[in-house]
Amino acid sequence: MDFTFTEEQRAAAEAARAVFSDVAPDRTPSPALTPGAVAEDIDRQLWRELARTDLLGLTLSPDHGGAGLDPIALCLVLRESAKALARVPLLETCAVAMAIERYGERGLAAELLPRAGRGELVLTVGANGRSGHDPAELAVSARPYGEADGEADMKTGGPSGGSGWVLDGVQSAVPWAQVADWIAVPAHTAEGRSVLALVPRTRDGVALADQVSTSGERLAEVRLDAVRVEARELIETAGCWDWLRSLLTTGTCALALGLGERVLAMTAEYTGKREQFGFPVATFQAVAVQAADRYIDLRAMEATLWQAAWRISTDAGGPLPAAGDVAVAKIWASDGVRRVVQTAQHLHGGFGADTDYPLHRYHAWAKQIELSLGPAAAHEETLGDLLAAHPLG
């Protein structure tokens, strides 16, 4: 297998590196010192810069003003964003936009995607369900309009009977929901099919309750009470939600890799300068061995990430479905990023807990990434189910 990146993918990574090099991780108050969210809004200055450099439209087709690149390119950009703790919904917006382009109604795609690429729209997705433990699509029900619904909607100007859907349920821990323009909501029908609804945040029946992540960012519990969506706003295509969730999970692995690489670099710099007994502590065997172990973690995270991103990008076959490679990548990302930040804190000593030093911010973000879309144990269970269903050899 050849993991060599294309010229276009390398160019995307270089452009992202240039943009994020000017982003300081301490632009907002410390999450350790802030009782609520560290900020009310995303980093709008950075969001505009991402739009200006065409990174928001990176994975959109040229028909919608994008560069037509694949999830691998997106993961390269996400990797760079995590090194700066970029406070933007880059993963959510790009992933939802890709799902709309791949599976959605053409008219809606033409309406939304060019604006998303220009940074005029923020997209997010509810991927955690009610509690984070059960499949997200089971937390919301979707039923077609009945005749009574249609008659009522004729009076309110809503879709006519039979032309839309009604959503009821709750999605918890939805990132950036308070500032998003559209929220992608996985749901299930009475027949047990998984569907994906695209809901404007201001639609009647949508209520948001503030939540705060471990990293101090705003999340929301999104409650849907008889929310009506048009037929074109609900994607019924089989496999849409599974594909989007795999892309979100793989993107989260890219964030874990970028964050871990930055933390290990910070640790190498610190231990190379910090002296004990007249020598840099980096020269001590115990320190070097721990740092080497974490380097191995990062290389394993990287290899499994690109395997998963390649399967999603190419729809290539394999002994297991692509979900198996995604599960392996998330297992390594969850466990690996946790070990990296724990070792970094240990090797920094008390300095790692200093709120004037950024390591504690990376630690908080790492914990959020570790648990996002399922910790390692959840994906180990998924992998076990896939192995049982698809015996190897």
Per residue in 201-227, pLDDT (tens digit) is 999 999 999 999 999 999 999 999 999
pLDDT (average), residues 49-66: 97
Q: Tell me the percentage of the chain whose pLDDT exceeds 90.
A: 87
At residue 145, φ and ψ (nearest 5 deg) are -60, 135
pLDDT (average), residues 166-187: 98
Which tokens is 325 given? 């490679």
Tell me the C-alpha distance between 307 and 96, whole Å. Answer: 21
pLDDT (average), residues 60-64: 97
pLDDT (average), residues 263-288: 92
Looking at every residue in the chain, the average pLDDT score rounds to 94
DSSP conformation letters of 72-129: HHHHHHHHHHHHTT--S-HHHHHHHHHHHHHHS-HHHHHHHHHHHHTTS--EEE--ST
* pLDDT value of residue 153: 53
DSSP conformation letters of 122-190: -EEE--STTTSSS-GGGGEEEEE--HHHHHHHHHHT-PPTTSEEEEEEEEEEEETGGG-SEEEEEEE-T
Start and end residues for every CATH 1.20.140.10 domain found in the chain? 240-389
Closest C-alpha to 262, from 293, 294, 287: 294
Which tokens is 102 given? 């791949």
pLDDT (average), residues 112-141: 96
* pLDDT value of residue 131: 87
Task: Show the beta-strand stretches assigned E in 214-255.
Answer: 218-230, 234-235
Task: Give pLDDT tens digits for 119-129.
Answer: 999 999 999 99
Looking at the domain 240-389, which fold is it? Butyryl-CoA Dehydrogenase, subunit A; domain 3 (1.20.140)
Q: Tell me the percentage of the chain whose pLDDT exceeds 70.
A: 95
Start and end residues for every CATH 1.10.540.10 domain found in the chain? 7-121
Task: Give pLDDT tens digits for 304-353.
Answer: 999 999 999 999 999 999 999 999 999 999 999 999 999 999 999 988 88
* pLDDT value of residue 170: 98
Architecture of domain 125-235: Beta Barrel (2.40)
* pLDDT value of residue 87: 98
Task: Give pLDDT tens digits for 340-393.
Answer: 999 999 999 988 889 999 999 999 999 999 999 999 999 999 999 999 999 887
pLDDT (average), residues 45-71: 97
* pLDDT value of residue 195: 98
With a cut of 90, say whether residue 274 has pLDDT above it: no
One-letter amino acid at 248 equals L
The length of the chain is 393
Which tokens is 311 given? 């399967």
* pLDDT value of residue 272: 93
* pLDDT value of residue 2: 66
Model confidence band, residue 149 (pLDDT cutoffs 50, 70, 90): low
Q: Which residues partner with 221 through β-bridges?
A: 209
The CATH number of 7-121 is which of 1.10.150.120, 3.20.20.70, 1.10.540.10, 1.10.10.10?
A: 1.10.540.10
Tell me the C-alpha distance between 364 and 206, whole Å. Answer: 30
* pLDDT value of residue 94: 98
Model confidence band, residue 25 (pLDDT cutoffs 50, 70, 90): very high
Start and end residues for every CATH 2.40.110.10 domain found in the chain? 125-235
